[in-house]
Amino acid sequence: MPGTCVIGLQWGDEAKGKLVDLLTGKFDIVVRYQGGANAGHTVVVGDQTYKLHHIPSGILNPNVSNIIASGVVLNPPTVLEEIHGLASRGIDVSKNLKISDRAHVVMPWHMAEDRALNDVIVDGEKIGTTLRGIGPCYRDKVGRNNAVRVGDMIRDDFRARIDRIVAAKQPYLSSLACESTLDAGEIYREYKAYADELQPFVIDTTAMLLDAVEEDKALLYEGAQGALLDIDHGTFPFVTSSNSSGVGVSAGAGVPGRWVNEVIGVVKSYTTRVGGGPFPTEQDNEIGQTIRDLGNEYGTTTGRPRRCGWFDAVAVRYTARLSGVSGLSVMMLDVLSQLPEIKVCTSYELHGERITHFPSHSEDLRLVKPNYETIPGWMTDVTEMREYSQLPDGAKRYLDQISAWVERPVEIVSVGPDREQTIFVP
Ligand code: IMP
């Protein structure tokens, strides 16, 4: 049975949530396996918009199990807020949501540290995190001494664990000139209440998923962020703290790679980035503002305006290879419909040389000059089109070019936020 994953191939916000919701009906289980409340996945169904940070985008289908797996860093109040928000709109998740006991917990000291370090300049600029405590939580996971996992919250020694960690964290936070004072008793009471409410959802998801693949169940893995933000293979240090490219699926879910046989790479028809870091095709000008306005490019999680630019085929070819992508889903094609001409970067100039590989050091990426190919726009509204044959020739040519540059077939095209506004390429 298929193990399929949906991976963003740019810097996140590629509209993966829409795609996961759309594909969910073909699967038994949808799995979120990395990242945390830094993600913001939007699903639009008719006149209803659902914004999810933790809960997999398959949750709107009651027949599908949704798993928050071991590689996720969980923010308990956020996930509870999502559970309550869905319940208030008639969506009961008590039967089809499970949370890993191995997932790490984002604690108040992680949020405080993320805020305290927000102004630090790294390699010339701020990372500009989502301030959700993601980096500090993953660092404590790797460091082990001061980690809290979901399973720890429902054990008898939870209070003692909090006391020990607070004793270690308070002097550290004070050294960062952070004003937060950690009250161990208060934190314990707050998080114990979260734990009590979350307990019915908590299981060993690794065991469950291994049983599922061996029983031939169909699994859909929902990547968060995008491959260019991958901690190991992205634009370090301007990245998130997890493996957000396709290489992270197995480790985060706890399912060997042999069970993942299809990878859908999701791209926007242009590029956006939130936060700091090099962005070769950025249009910090009128064109960028036009794309931002047409695409409503403001962060789901933080509301920050997204940096906008042209499609970067050099970057996407790299992340498609890195993620083992079999086919592409091109989102937000409608946004380009009002532009008389569209550019795509197909190579870079670095130190006077033309290159087609993606530089591994962000300093080199900052220095590259993009070489563009210019394509005439189609200037036709595509939002009502449902068949590939209806698309204007210019749009088809653009999709063909993307496919040729990235060396992967375009299989799905999105022409608007609603489920219906989707074209499956024959
Ligand atoms: P963090 O994940 O909050 O530590 O942020 C690190 C970098 O990743 C920042 O540039 C964020 O803007 C970016 N980032 C994190 N999550 C997302 C996302 O879901 N979409 C887009 N960018 C993200």
Say which residues have a Cβ less than 8 Å from residue 67's Cβ, sequence separation at least 6.
29, 30, 31, 32, 56, 97, 98, 99, 100, 205, 208, 209, 253
Divide the 426 residues of the chain into consecutive groups of 10 and give the mean pLDDT of each group. 92 93 94 95 85 91 96 98 95 96 98 93 93 97 97 97 97 86 96 98 98 97 97 98 98 96 97 96 97 92 90 98 98 96 98 97 97 97 97 97 97 95 96
How close is the Cα of 213 to the center of ligand 1, in Å? 31
What ligand 1 atom has the least distance to the C-alpha of 40? Answer: 19
Alpha helices in 324-392 (DSSP H): 362-367
Task: Please identify, by atom number, the ligand 1 atom nearest to the C-alpha of residue 276.
Answer: 10
In percent, how much of the chain has pLDDT > 90? 91
How many A from CA of 130 to the centre of ligand 1?
A: 6
Mutate to test the pocket of ligand 1, among 138, 240, 300 (most ligand atoms within 8 A of CB): 240
Please list, in sequence order, all residues whose beta carbon lies within 8 angstroms of the beta carbon of residue 92, skipping any fewer than 6 positions away: 62, 86
What pLDDT does 19 receive?
92
In this prediction, residue 45 carries a pLDDT of 81
Nearest residue (by CA) to ligand 1, atom 20, is 12
Helix (H, G, I), strand (E, B) or coil at 371: strand
pLDDT of residue 301: 74
**Taking CB atoms and a 6 Å cutoff, what residues make up the pocket around ligand 1?**
11-13, 38-40, 127-130, 132, 134-135, 224-225, 229, 238, 240-241, 274-275
How far, in Å, from the CA of 328 to the mean position of ligand 1? Answer: 22
* Beta bridge mates, 410: 328
Nearest CA to ligand 1 atom 2: 240
Q: Are 222 and 57 in contact (CB under 8 A)?
A: yes
Which residue in 41, 53, 104, 233 is the catalytic one? Answer: 41
Which of 13, 101, 140, 334 is flagged as catalytic? 13
CA–centroid distance, residue 38 to ligand 1 (Å): 6
Give the count of beta carbons closer than 10 Å to the beta carbon of residue 223: 34
Indicate if 104 belongs to the active site: no
Residue of the CA atom closest to atom 11 of ligand 1: 129
Which phi-psi region, left, alpha or beta, contains residue 15 (left: φ > 0; alpha: ψ -120 to 50)?
Answer: left
Query: Under a CB-based contact definition with an 8 Å cutoff, are residues 75 and 114 in contact?
Result: no
Q: What is the pLDDT of residue 299?
A: 84
Q: How far is the CA of 240 from the centre of ligand 1 (A)?
A: 6
* Close Cβ partners of 70 (under 8 Å, ≥ 6 residues apart): 33, 100, 102, 103, 205, 206, 252, 253, 254
Q: How far, in Å, is the centroid of ligand 1 from the Cα of 134? A: 9
What is the pTM assigned to this prediction? 0.96
- Residue with the smallest CA separation from ligand 1 atom 10 is 275
Cis peptide before 237 (omega within 30 of 0): yes
Tell me which DSSP letter residue 359 carries.
P
Active-site residue flag, 216? no
| Nearest atom, ligand 1, residue 229 CA | 8
Backbone angles phi, psi at 304, to 5 degrees: -70, 140
pLDDT tens profile 277-302: 999 999 999 999 999 999 999 987 77
Q: Which amino acid belongs to residue 169?
A: K
